[in-house]
């Protein structure tokens, strides 16, 4: 009995120790990269010259402060996803940044050095239009927020509301912009499309309407971007139809008509179909804007104009020019203009805003990435140099969401790939062998062996061994060489050319597909981006599926990946075939997909070039094979009768199974209808194709075996009730055989609702749902067993399964909300499994599957102890040691990708969301390699000690014998 207790104690301690991180392992094989998303607003801190802060607000509802020298994050605040966390406006004054959030719902002021909130106020409902800082007598004191029907003024230091006023006639007038020149009044500008402009003047002190006027403007549809306020309160608008500029002094009471200035008079013309854009600058909110402004006439034509005494004079014409922006440092305002230089580079030049004269020696050359997109935003940081001239740095954002920070004369200071903030899907591909390894492979290729005789083979063998020796010596030399260098300089750049598969296949190529249509190849060991490819013309609502058709195992055939891009609305898809190691587009001809694709299927059938066959099924159930060579079609004909696939139509609640016919048409075999009035299908998952199950059964306490029900065709279907009332809502799970359509098991969780996260693997399904009665998350595990005997132990066939499996189920309370769920995966499936749970706090919990075992007994018996079953406890433990990413939290974790490595004990894990985190986990500890803390010194000292002890004792024994002989 005592022995048993000891054993239990040992096993439990082992279990708790499993998959924890040691402090000295930090950063050894894991890395994290933090992202912010597509920048919507970016402001440089011009408060002090030495400031390195760059404040950004992005479309991912992230507000962050970047170090403009390195591109690293000082701090980052991640708000709620969706419209409620959407950042509408970002204003900055001094150390404070004012942010309008959630369609004008919240007004927040941030302390930018610390990254803490100063104040937060709730605004009245109403859709947000504009916000502006308001100054009085050279001091910025207030912030004004314009809503659809009201304007409010808030104190900048406390956030308290000074006044709020309803806008007159707000149901007919669209109020769109706000302007204050620092003279005690705030102007609110509204428009009645194709009729007139409304200008309301509010007194800053009490919100009293000082003046209200309407000015006729039949041509105007919207104030935004086509209008700007320049000089001392002159409203300036541009219209492409009448090809004219219109001016109107805001304050004058007598002028009731906008003055028209034909663009022709300035020798200008707006390109037809282009909406011209006016850009003015107001360096200090307490003072009126400058009289200079940019007018964009076509996508690559800007002109700098000046408004003086009611006249508009061109200062400088920039033709061609992509982007233009103003920047102010101290008293001086400059304009930076990006113009094309040649096909691959752009030049950015600085011009003084008031004269349009070019500053000498201010050219920055910006090299465009040939695999990237065009630049579309320019942010300029101007500063005064010691000699009082203006220096500047620029940040360029491109279509593919690359942020590049440049300084003169074109040095890239840093670069951020913000497309990675929205990874949609990913895969991991083995790295190829090096040249020498490939040489060896070639030697034992099939063809070579037949052609050559015995002697050439021997010679070949010797030569390849020699090459290996050479490579090893070179490696040793490099090690020696690196060891002499200081540590920091050894961390050299990783390039594709030197990458090769390591001994245990721990280093892989991560392929990441992002929502913006940019593909990345990332080295999993260091996180270095090895290649990137921007696919143009990707619709924003596209769905991606990445398929590895040929791995690196088939030298000399290059590996091949296929990306299926599908438009969510039309369903039309296209294929993009590329080499995953180098990112190059493959020259293979791709089948045209004229009809919407509804299902894809990667078959284990390979063509003569070792590429797996991909079947694409369109909405008429026609099948397209890719590649579709003769060989493939022949193979498909042979195996057609055993190829089945399923389709899900969640709108009709229909699951249907099809079989492939010899002529590549399909026939319907089964159909399961889940009535949509009651419940709807939320998710369907099969098992992972690359999953291995090592043991067929489990050994029980009485030494009998409980065999697992390992049906590779099993589908787990999750449904949610359409009735969302908390008493009547439920979550259902169906286990359906994908070949026969037989419902193997069905379970319902009452008083539960989604979101449901689940993992389907081996013979179990684990799912998480929200228990709406007790307001908590619950885990439920289903395990399927065949029983004490296997029906057919050699082959599994869905068509020949007379006995239903035994199903065991148990549920547990999980004391935290959940973002995502995945299971670890290893090479041979010997290692015990862990569940990886992504939590909203950003931690990734590695939960042993042992805790989710439906055979956990309520009462401990001798047999359950023998089996190492943990007694049932309703609440699942969460230990901080189980967080595999310690303090490297992953914000908004959306997916976890697991891949086996060459070591059975090790599973590679990538968690992605707003950030990307890569690590290795060892669910059963590192049983196949020496531990990190293996005590080499102790072992070797003991060995040497023993060796010397034997030597000495031998000598002593000899002496003793000799002495005895003398006696």
Partner 1 sequence: MHAALFALSWCFSDAEPGPVAGSQSNGDRFKIEGRAIVPGVKTQDWISTARILVEGEEYVGFLKTDGSFAVNDVPSGSYVVEIVSPSFRFDPVRVDITSKGKMRARLVNYIKTSEVIRQPYPLQIRSSGPHTYFMKRETWGWTDFLMNPMVMMMVLPLLIIVLLPKVVNTNDPEMRKEMEQSMNMLNPNPELPDVSEFMTKLFSKGSSKSSGGNKGSRSVAPKRR
Angle at CA of residue 785, ends 679 and 781, nearest 5°:
45
Q: Are 73 and 64 in contact (CB under 8 A)?
A: yes
CA-based diameter of the chain, in Å?
Answer: 138
The correct pick among 433, 504, 796, 851 for binding partner 1 (CB under 8 A) is 796
Q: Give the C-alpha separation, 905 to 911, whole Å.
A: 19
Query: Residue 613 and residue 604: Cα distance in Å, rounded?
Result: 7
Q: Which of 45, 79, 418, 607 binds partner 1 (CB under 8 A)?
A: 79
Q: Which residues contact 608 (CB under 8 A, 6 or more apart)?
A: 629, 631
Q: How far is CA 269 from CA 261, 263, 264, 296, 338, in A?
A: 12, 6, 7, 10, 21
Give residues 545-584 in contact with partner 1 (rule: CB under 8 A). 545, 566, 571
Does residue 438 bind partner 1 (CB under 8 A)?
A: no
813 binds partner 1 (CB under 8 A): yes
709 binds partner 1 (CB under 8 A): no
453 binds partner 1 (CB under 8 A): no
Q: Name which position in 47, 52, 71, 85 contacts partner 1 (CB under 8 A).
A: 85
Tokens 């037809």 sit on residue: 272
Shortest Å, Cβ 768 to partner 1: 10
Instruction: Give the per-residue contact string, 179-208, with partner 1 (x = CB under 8 A; - = no).
Output: ------------------------------
Site for partner 1 in 827-866 (CB under 8 A): 840-842
Is 684 a binding residue for partner 1 by CB under 8 A? The answer is yes
What CA–CA distance (Å, rounded) separates 176 from 191? 8
x/- map, 713-742, partner 1, by CB under 8 A: x----x-----x-------------xx---
799 forms part of the interface with partner 1 (CB under 8 A):
yes
Is 80 a residue that touches partner 1 (CB under 8 A)?
Answer: yes
Provide the minimum distance between the beta carbon of 110 and partner 1 in the complex, in angstroms, as a whole number. 8
Residue 891 CB, shortest distance to partner 1, in Å, is 9
| Residues linked to residue 197 through DSSP beta bridges, in sequence order | 191, 215
Task: Return the structure tokens found at 187.
Answer: 């102007």
Q: Is 309 in the site for partner 1 (CB under 8 A)?
A: no
For residue 788, the minimal CB distance to partner 1 (Å) is 23
Near partner 1 in 580-599, by CB under 8 A: 597-599
Strands, E assignment, 341-461: 345-352, 364-367, 375-384, 390-398, 402-407, 411-417, 423-430
Q: Is 400 exposed, middle or buried (0-12, 13-18, 19+ CB in 10 A)?
A: buried
Taking the least distance from each CB to partner 1, the nearer of 478 and 931 is 931
Count of chain residues binding partner 1 (CB under 8 A): 105
Cβ closest to partner 1, residue 21 vs residue 348: 21
Tell which one of 82, 370, 486, 540 touches partner 1 (CB under 8 A): 82
Q: Reduce the DSSP state of residue 575 to 3 states and report it.
A: strand
Residue pair 172/192 in contact (Cβ under 8 Å)? The answer is yes
Instruction: Out of 514, 542, 600, 679, point to the residue binding partner 1 (CB under 8 A).
Output: 600
> Whole-angstrom Cα distance, residue 817 to residue 156?
37
Among 64, 135, 36, 43, smallest CA distance to 325 is for 43
User: Which stretch in 346-354, 468-476, 519-527, 640-648 sits in contact with partner 1 by CB under 8 A?
Assistant: 640-648
User: What is the DSSP-derived secondary structure letter of residue 585?
Assistant: B
Prior bond of 143 cis (ω within 30°): no
- Between 382 and 825, CB nearer to partner 1: 825
CA–CA distance, 583 with 499 (Å, rounded to integer): 14
Q: Please state the length of the chain.
A: 967
The two three-digit tokens of residue 617, written as one number: 């099924």
Q: Which helix (H) or strand (E) holds 606?
A: strand 597-606
What radius of gyration do the chain's Cα atoms show?
Answer: 35
Determine, following the binding rule CB under 8 A, whether residue 892 of this chain makes contact with partner 1: yes
Question: Binding of partner 1 at residue 72 (CB under 8 A)?
Answer: no
Select 403 or 647, whichever has its Cβ closest to partner 1. 647
Does 945 engage in binding with partner 1 (CB under 8 A)? Answer: no
- Within 642-671, the residues that bind partner 1 by CB under 8 A are 642-651
Contact 721, 679 (CB under 8 A): yes
Instruction: Please state the closest distance from residue 149 (CB atom) to partner 1, in A.
Output: 18
Residue from 6, 9, 114, 959 binding partner 1 (CB under 8 A): 114
In the complex with partner 1, the residue whose CB is nearer, 350 or 616, is 616
Contact 236, 280 (CB under 8 A): yes
Task: Specify the residue, 360 or 938, whose C-beta has the smaller distance to partner 1.
Answer: 938
* Options 38, 60, 118, 381; binder of partner 1; rule CB under 8 A: 118
Check binding of 800 to partner 1 (CB under 8 A): yes
CB 512, min distance to partner 1, A:
17
């Amino acid at each position: 009995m005592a022995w048993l207790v000891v054993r239990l104690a040992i096993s439990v301690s082992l279990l708790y120790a499993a998959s924890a991180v040691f402090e000295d392992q930090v950063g050894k094989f894991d890395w994290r990269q933090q992202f912010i998303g597509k920048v919507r607003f970016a402001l440089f801190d011009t408060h002090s010259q030495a400031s390195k802060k760059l404040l950004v607000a992005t479309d991912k509802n992230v507000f962050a402060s970047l170090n403009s020298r390195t591109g690293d994050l000082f701090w980052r605040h991640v708000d709620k996803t969706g419209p409620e966390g959407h950042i509408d406006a970002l204003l900055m004054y001094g150390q404070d940044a004012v942010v309008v959030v959630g369609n004008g719902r919240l007004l927040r002021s941030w302390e930018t050095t610390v990254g803490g909130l100063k104040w937060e106020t709730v605004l009245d409902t109403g859709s947000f239009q504009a916000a502006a800082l308001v100054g009085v007598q050279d001091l910025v004191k207030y912030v004004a927020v314009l809503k659809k029907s009201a304007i409010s003024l808030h104190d900048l230091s406390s956030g308290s509301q000074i006044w709020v006023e309803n806008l007159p006639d707000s149901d007919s007038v669209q109020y769109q912009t706000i302007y204050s020149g620092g003279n005690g009044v705030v102007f609110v500008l509204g428009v009645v499309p194709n009729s007139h402009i409304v200008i309301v003047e509010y007194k800053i002190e009490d919100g009293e309407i000082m003046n209200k006027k309407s000015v006729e403007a039949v041509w105007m549809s919207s104030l935004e971007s086509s209008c700007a306020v320049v000089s001392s309160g002159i409203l300036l608008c541009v219209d492409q139809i009448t090809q004219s500029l219109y001016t109107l002094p805001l304050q004058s009471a007598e002028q009731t008509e906008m003055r028209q200035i034909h663009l022709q008079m300035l020798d200008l013309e707006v390109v037809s179909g282009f909406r011209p854009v006016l850009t003015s600058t107001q360096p200090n909110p307490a003072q009126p804007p400058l009289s200079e402004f940019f007018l964009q006439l076509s996508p690559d034509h800007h002109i700098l104009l000046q408004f003086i005494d009611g006249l508009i004079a061109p200062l400088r014409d920039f033709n061609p020019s992509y982007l233009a922006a103003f920047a102010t440092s101290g008293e001086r305002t400059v304009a930076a203009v990006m113009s094309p230089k040649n096909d691959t580079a752009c030049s950015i030049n600085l011009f003084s805003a008031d004269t349009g004269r070019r500053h000498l020696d201010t050219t920055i050359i910006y090299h465009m990435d040939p695999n990237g997109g065009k630049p579309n935003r320019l942010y300029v940081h101007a500063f005064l140099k010691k000699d009082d001239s203006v220096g500047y740095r620029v940040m360029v954002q491109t279509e593919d969401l690359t942020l590049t920070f440049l300084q003169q004369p074109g040095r890239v200071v840093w670069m951020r790939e913000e497309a990675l903030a929205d990874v949609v899907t990913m895969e991991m591909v083995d790295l190829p062998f090096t040249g020498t390894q490939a040489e060896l492979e070639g030697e034992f290729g099939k063809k070579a062996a037949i052609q050559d005789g015995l002697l050439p083979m021997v010679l070949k063998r010797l030569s390849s061994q020699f090459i290996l020796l050479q490579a090893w010596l070179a490696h040793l030399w490099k090690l020696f060489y690196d060891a002499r260098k200081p540590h920091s300089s050894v961390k050299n750049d990783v390039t594709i050319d030197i990458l090769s598969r390591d001994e245990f296949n721990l280093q892989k190529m991560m392929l990441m597909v992002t929502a913006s249509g940019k593909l990345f190849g990332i080295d999993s060991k260091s996180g270095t981006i090895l290649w990137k490819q921007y696919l143009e013309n990707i619709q924003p609502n596209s769905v991606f599926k990445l398929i590895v058709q040929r791995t690196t195992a088939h030298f000399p055939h290059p590996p091949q990946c296929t990306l299926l891009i599908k438009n969510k609305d039309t369903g039309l898809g296209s294929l993009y075939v590329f080499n995953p190691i180098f990112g190059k587009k493959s020259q293979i001809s791709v089948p045209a997909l004229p009809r919407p694709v509804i299902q894809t299927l990667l078959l284990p059938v390979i063509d003569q070039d070792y590429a797996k066959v991909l079947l694409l099924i369109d909405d008429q159930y026609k099948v397209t094979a890719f590649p579709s060579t003769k060989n493939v079609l022949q193979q498909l004909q042979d195996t057609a009768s055993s190829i089945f696939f399923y389709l899900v139509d969640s709108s009709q609640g229909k699951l249907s199974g099809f079989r492939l016919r010899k002529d590549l048409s399909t026939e319907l075999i089964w159909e399961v209808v889940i009535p949509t009035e009651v419940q709807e299908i939320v998710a369907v998952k099969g098992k992972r194709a690359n999953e291995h199950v090592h043991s067929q059964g489990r050994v029980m306490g009485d030494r009998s075996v409980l065999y697992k029900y390992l049906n590779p065709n099993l589908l787990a279907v999750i449904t949610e009730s359409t009735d969302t009332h908390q008493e009547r809502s439920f979550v259902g799970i169906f286990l359906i055989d994908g070949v026969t359509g037989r419902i193997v098991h069905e379970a319902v969780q009452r008083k539960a609702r989604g979101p449901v996260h689940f993992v389907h693997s081996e013979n179990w399904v684990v799912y998480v749902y929200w228990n709406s009665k007790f307001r908590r998350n619950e885990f439920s595990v289903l395990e399927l067993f065949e029983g004490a005997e296997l029906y057919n132990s050699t082959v599994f066939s869905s068509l020949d399964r007379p006995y239903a499996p035994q199903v065991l189920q148990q549920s547990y309370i999980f004391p935290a909300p959940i973002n995502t769920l995945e299971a670890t995966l290893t090479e041979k499936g010997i290692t015990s499994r862990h569940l990886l749970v992504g939590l909203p706090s950003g931690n990734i919990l590695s939960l042993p599957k042992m805790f989710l075992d439906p055979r956990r007994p309520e009462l401990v018996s001798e047999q359950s102890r023998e089996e190492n079953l943990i007694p049932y406890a309703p609440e699942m433990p969460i230990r901080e040691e189980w967080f595999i990413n310690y303090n490297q939290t992953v914000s908004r974790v959306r997916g976890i990708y697991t891949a086996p490595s060459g070591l059975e004990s090790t599973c590679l894990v990538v968690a992605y969301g707003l950030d990307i985190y890569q690590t290795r986990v060892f669910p059963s500890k590192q049983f196949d390699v020496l531990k990190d803390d293996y005590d080499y010194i102790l072992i070797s000292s003991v060995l040497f000690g023993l060796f010397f002890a034997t030597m000495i004792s031998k000598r002593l024994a000899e002496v003793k014998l000799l002495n005895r002989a003398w006696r």
